Amino acid sequence: MLPPAPRRPAPGGGLAVLVVVTILAALAAPHAKALRGLVAGDLPTITLPGRPAPPPATRPPAGLTFTNAAGCRPASDYRSPRLDWRVRVLLVAAADRHRIRVSCLRTGHSWYVKGTRRVSNHSLWRAVDVDRVDGRPVSPSNAAARQLAVWIGRGRAGVQPSEVGSPWRFGGRPWFTDRGHQGHLHVGFADPTQVGGVR
**80-138 pLDDT tens trace:** 999 999 999 999 999 999 999 999 999 988 888 887 788 889 999 999 999 999 999 99
Give the pLDDT confidence score for residue 196 in this predicted structure: 43
For 94-108, write each residue's pLDDT tens digit: 999 999 999 999 998
DSSP state of 71: S
Give the pLDDT confidence score for residue 197 in this predicted structure: 42
Neighbours of 17 (CB within 10 A): 11
More confident of the two residues 9 and 73 = 73
Residue pair 88/102 in contact by the 8 Å Cβ criterion: no
Residue pair 134/123 in contact by the 8 Å Cβ criterion: no
Give the pLDDT confidence score for residue 192 in this predicted structure: 61
pTM, rounded to two decimals: 0.68
Taking the C-alpha atoms of residue 140 and residue 138, their distance in angstroms, rounded to an integer, is 7
In the chain the first and final C-alpha atoms are separated, in Å, by: 106
For 186-198, write each residue's pLDDT tens digit: 999 998 644 444 4
Taking the C-alpha atoms of residue 120 and residue 198, their distance in angstroms, rounded to an integer, is 6
**CA-CA distances (angstroms) from residue 139 to 1, 24, 29, 165?**
117, 76, 68, 12
Q: Mind giving me the DSSP string for 76-137?
A: HHHH-TTS-HHHHHHHHHHHHHS-EEEEESSTTS-SBPTTSSSBPTTTTT-EEEEEEETTEE
For 168-184, write each residue's pLDDT tens digit: 998 889 999 989 899 99
pLDDT band at 60 (very low <50, low <70, confident <90, very high): confident
The pLDDT mean for the chain works out to 81
Lowest mean pLDDT, pick from 22-26, 45-49, 56-60, 72-76: 45-49
Q: Pick the closest to residue 89 from 54, 128, 135 (CA basis).
A: 128
pLDDT band at 45 (very low <50, low <70, confident <90, very high): low
**How many secondary structure helices (H) and strands (E) does the chain include?**
5, 7
Give the pLDDT confidence score for residue 107 in this predicted structure: 93
pLDDT band at 56 (very low <50, low <70, confident <90, very high): very low
Taking the C-alpha atoms of residue 156 and residue 115, their distance in angstroms, rounded to an integer, is 31
